[in-house]
Amino acid sequence: MDKKQGPQLIQDTRGGNLNLDDLVDNPNLEGFHIAAILGTVYGLMTDDDCSAFRSSVVKRTGYEGFLRSPSDMGSSVGSMLREKRDGNEWTGRSVADLVHKYVANQITNEEMAAVLAMIMVKGMATSEIVSLTRAMTDSGDRLDFSELTEQGYVAVDKHSTGGISDGVSLVLAPLVAAAYPQIIVPMMSGRGLGHTGGTLDKLESIPGFRVDLSEDEIRAAMLETRVAIFAPMPSIVPADGKMYALRDLTNCVSDSGLIVGSILSKKIAEGTKVLVMDTKTGNGAFKSKFEDAKLFAQLMCNVGRGNGLNVNGFITDMNQPLGMYAGNKLEVLEALEYLRGLHQDSDFMKVVYTLAEKMVELAGFAEENTRVRLHETITSGAAYDTFLKMVRQQHGDLASVRKLARLLHPTSILTLAQAGEYERINQVLSPEDKLYFTEIRAERDGMVSGFQLTSIGEEIRALGAGRYKQGDSVNPYVGLITAARLGQPVRKGELIAVVVNDGKKGSPEKIREYIHVSENYDLGTKPRLIKELVKPTAG
């Protein structure tokens, strides 16, 4: 029988379900796994019980560890473990020392694994997360836009916790930069994570588009186009890369304080002064319950303010795809449609305009007609032109983007799908490749009553749109076209969605199970799109 993996054993320990015999002769266990198990136990047990447990672990694994016993707290890490176990808060200095030494390899993975495991069971106070964020930010370089900020420019950014068809950054960043010449948008983004898509993967579906920019290239982009969307650099917040890899290996990913530190340290280091958060809630969000999403958004705002950021956040719905298309190139095409002025009353654009208004306000440029100005920036073509400038600045094939816009004008991918013009969609997405289009149609008269978004996202991932491990390639052309919204009346046989696939990977038909039509749907239960604005609390 195969032995359990280290992360699962750590989770078992956290849940009180660890079978010590699973540790015996287990080839999957590394020292840092065992250290995380011991750190977890130390946070949950008395000294006597912990000593007995440790003895059992040593007997089964031969692991002595960096702590000889719970009472041996001579090291700085040992002291921090005892402080946290006893309910005391860590000082800013001790947190800074921990991060600095870990990046400098003066603290081992085993020691840090024990600390992370302790955090998972004991949590961190806001002040500790503020200190952690600051220490992580200070672990590397910071982007310097002083040449522009001294002239009155303000650097702004947004962060979304992610969801299905959430390509907001592709529209929001060029829109804000185009509408307000004194605003610069340096947007450090990520790749797909789990069932959610990544902004960088979407942009890389544009031939030649580069996301791995140097600091000089980012500064040049701010001077030339005032917007860039780019990948994290090794010199920026190296603590995050090292800590996240260990968190992943030790099942210490889900703690809100660790997540906030990871997000905000990168945002601060990228040089932004204003940040607007979009915290998703619903069955497709990582914080599915509204109360949890609000707590997370509040923590982001408070920790951001504690580090000198001007942060507000919105809690928005993720119980259905935000946009109409999900998939890397499909979402770029959707962004082009929005930037060309289509679908301006959509949920997607309502979120874009709401976030943009708040970014402008926090940057100090609010006016009575901010929304009007933003809308005119779309209808005039200025936002679209700025997107094209960003593509050119980041070495993307401008001709291919313009060709896509021409192929679609004056229609949209959705209109083509509703007309059954799949060959034309194939030509737009990838003329060199044969794509397949699996229709999902209503099986009865009724109303669209639900999307199981996490399951839908996982199926899109399985089609090839996402990764399962580092180094996996993505298929930029596959994805989902959604033709109906929650609460929309449909007739039997009416098109609800189309799964775009390569005929090789995944189970396109499976998505049919995750979109529901009911004879009766109470429109009063339809989730509100923009649920609440969250600001830093006093204190």
Per-residue pLDDT of the chain (539 residues; tens, 9 = 90+): 688 999 999 999 999 999 999 999 999 999 999 999 999 999 999 888 888 998 899 899 988 776 555 445 456 898 999 999 999 999 999 999 999 999 999 999 999 999 999 999 999 999 999 999 999 999 999 999 999 999 999 999 999 999 999 999 999 999 999 999 999 999 999 887 667 779 999 999 999 999 999 999 999 999 999 999 999 999 999 999 999 999 989 999 999 999 999 999 999 999 999 999 999 999 999 999 999 999 999 999 999 999 999 999 999 999 999 999 999 999 999 999 999 999 999 999 999 999 999 999 999 999 999 999 999 999 999 999 999 999 999 999 999 999 999 999 899 999 999 999 999 999 999 999 999 999 999 999 999 999 999 999 999 999 999 987 777 889 999 999 999 999 999 999 999 999 999 999 999 999 999 999 999 888 888 899 999 999 999 76
Asked if 240 is an active-site residue, the reply is yes
Q: What are phi and psi of 105, to 5 degrees?
A: 65, 25
Under 8 Å between Cβ of 187 and 169: yes
The pTM (predicted TM-score) of the whole model is: 0.94
How many CA atoms within 13 Å lie on the side-chain side of 507? Answer: 9
Q: Which of 97, 166, 240, 347 is catalytic?
A: 240
Asked if 205 is an active-site residue, the reply is no
Q: Which of 139, 160, 262, 412 is catalytic?
A: 262
Asked if 389 is an active-site residue, the reply is no
Asked if 266 is an active-site residue, the reply is yes
Q: Which of 122, 134, 242, 266 is catalytic?
A: 266
How far from the centroid of its chain's Cα atoms is residue 66's Cα?
A: 34
How far from the centroid of its chain's Cα atoms is residue 161's Cα?
A: 5
Asked if 329 is an active-site residue, the reply is no
Q: Which of 247, 287, 294, 461 is catalytic?
A: 247
Residue count (the chain)? 539
Under 8 Å between Cβ of 500 and 327: yes
What's the CA gap between 387 and 336, in Å, rounded? 9
Q: Name which of 124, 137, 164, 125 is nearest 252 in CA terms.
A: 124
The whole-number pLDDT of residue 69 equals 55
- DSSP 8-state class, residue 508: G
Q: Which of 4, 84, 85, 159 is catalytic?
A: 159
The whole-number pLDDT of residue 296 equals 98
Under 8 Å between Cβ of 170 and 198: no
**CB under 8 Å to 197, separation ≥6 — which residues?**
162, 164, 165, 166, 167, 326, 327, 328, 331, 465, 466
Give the alpha-carbon dihedral of 500, 160, 141, 36, to 10 degrees.
-90
Q: Name which of 32, 33, 27 is nearest 7 in CA terms.
A: 33
- DSSP 8-state class, residue 525: G
The CA distances from residue 478 to 112, 330, 419, 474, 475, in Å, are 40, 8, 19, 9, 6
The whole-number pLDDT of residue 196 equals 76
Residue environment code for 3-36, b if the CB has 16+ CB neighbours within 10 A, otherwise e: ebebbebbbbbbeeebeeeebeebeebbbbbbbb
Annotated domain spans of the chain: 6-123
